[in-house]
């Protein structure tokens, strides 16, 4: 299934039904009077987050969603039927934005969470509504009110506890495959990962978290270089970031600084999130290179650095434990 994390759709709630003008005319009843009923309410357009979806591909081709108009009133003071709502199902983590793509209308970050994005119009009054002691035969009925309509943007931000960031070929996909049952594409060329991947990491029977891998960043990503920063939104909800650095490159400090600059340029609070830095590809470094590059990276990030190898699994359990501890701290601070 193709991954799609953004879609523009048009929603139109149902118009209200029309009220009617009618008078009671029955044999042997001397005095009739107005008995025109009210119109029914138009249907709403509702968006609901459900489990089992991880893409917005359903909204690539179906882009118009309209609820039905309410039923018109009728004689004998009968009101029109209200129309059913139209429910659009989206993945958990979907944000609903206005047409300007900036105004947040709803954030569906939990299963079952719903938002009425377009409200149906009320039905119009029939002439029975307008009868008074001084106006016993009104000849007035109102049209139904129009339902709301608008263009909206759906933007998916995956729900993950921890996120992997780094340059292309830093070993993020290999780390994800080594620590979870996810099977991302792995190859020895840049931008192997073309869309975000999720994996569930299980440290024990009762301890697990979701890890997200996004396409690598390069210099100028904030200006659209490479795949740009369009996928960084998928790690905005993460409690902690694992920053992987390729240990086979000569200047790991520069690689670290480059990614940090792109995170800062993107915004969204990513640069302020807790970060664990790891020097990857331990299996491909000589002891001398390992010592020199570890020292350079610690100097660049100003803190401790983990040594790991996604291929051999060395240091991976320690990195996962560090991530889990940070996630627990974040959850406790929110609770």
- What residue numbers does the annotated binding site for GTP cover? 166-173, 191-195, 213-216, 280-283, 309-311
- Rounded to 5 degrees, φ, ψ at 279 are -90, 110
Structure tokens at 226: 């490479």
Residue 7 near residue 63 (C-beta atoms within 8 A): yes
Structure tokens at 249: 């490159």
- The CA distance from 330 to 273, in Å, is 10
- The CA distance from 258 to 252, in Å, is 10
**3-class secondary structure, 251:** coil
Structure tokens at 152: 């909206």
Residue 43 near residue 121 (C-beta atoms within 8 A): no
State the binding site. Answer: 166-173, 191-195, 213-216, 280-283, 309-311
State the binding site for Mg(2+). Answer: 173, 193
- The CA distance from 306 to 276, in Å, is 8
Q: Is the dihedral of CA 293, 294, 295, 300 positive or negative?
A: positive
Q: Is 165 exposed, middle or buried (0-12, 13-18, 19+ CB in 10 A)?
A: buried
| Neighbour order of strands in the sheet with 86-91 | 86-91, 45-50, 114-118
């Amino acid at each position: 299934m193709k991954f799609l994390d953004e879609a523009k759709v048009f929603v139109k709630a149902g118009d209200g039904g029309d009220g009617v003008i009618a008078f009671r005319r029955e044999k042997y009843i001397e005095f009739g009077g107005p008995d025109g009923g009210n119109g029914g309410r138009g249907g709403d357009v509702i968006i609901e987050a459900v489990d089992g979806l991880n893409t917005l591909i359903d909204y690539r081709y179906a882009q118009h969603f309209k609820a039905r108009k309410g039923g018109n009133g009728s004689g004998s003071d009968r009101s029109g039927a209200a129309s059913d709502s139209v429910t659009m199902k989206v993945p958990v983590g979907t944000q609903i934005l206005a047409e300007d793509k900036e105004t947040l209308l709803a954030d569906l970050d939990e299963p079952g969470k719903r938002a009425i994005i377009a409200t149906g119009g009320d039905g119009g009054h029939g002439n029975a509504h307008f009868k008074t002691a001084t106006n016993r035969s009104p000849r007035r009925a109102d049209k139904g009110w129009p339902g709301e309509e608008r263009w909206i943007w759906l933007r998916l931000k995956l729900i993950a506890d921890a996120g992997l960031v780094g340059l292309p070929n830093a070993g993020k996909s290999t780390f994800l495959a080594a620590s979870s049952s996810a099977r991302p594409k792995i190859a020895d060329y840049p931008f192997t990962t073309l869309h975000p991947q999720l994996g569930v990491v299980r440290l024990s029977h009762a301890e697990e978290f979701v890890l997200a891998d996004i396409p690598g960043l390069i210099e100028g990503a904030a200006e659209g270089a490479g795949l740009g920063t369009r996928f960084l939104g998928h790690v905005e909800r993460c409690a902690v970031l694992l920053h992987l650095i390729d240990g086979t490159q000569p200047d790991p400090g520069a690689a670290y600084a480059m990614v940090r600059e792109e995170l800062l340029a993107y915004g969204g609070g990513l640069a302020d999130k807790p970060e664990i830095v790891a020097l990857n590809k331990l299996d491909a470094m000589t002891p001398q290179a390992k010592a020199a590059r570890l020292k350079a990276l610690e100097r660049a990030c100003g803190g401790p650095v983990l040594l790991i190898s996604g291929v051999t699994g060395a240091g991976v359990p320690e990195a996962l434990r560090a991530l889990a501890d940070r996630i627990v701290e974040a959850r406790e601070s929110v609770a």
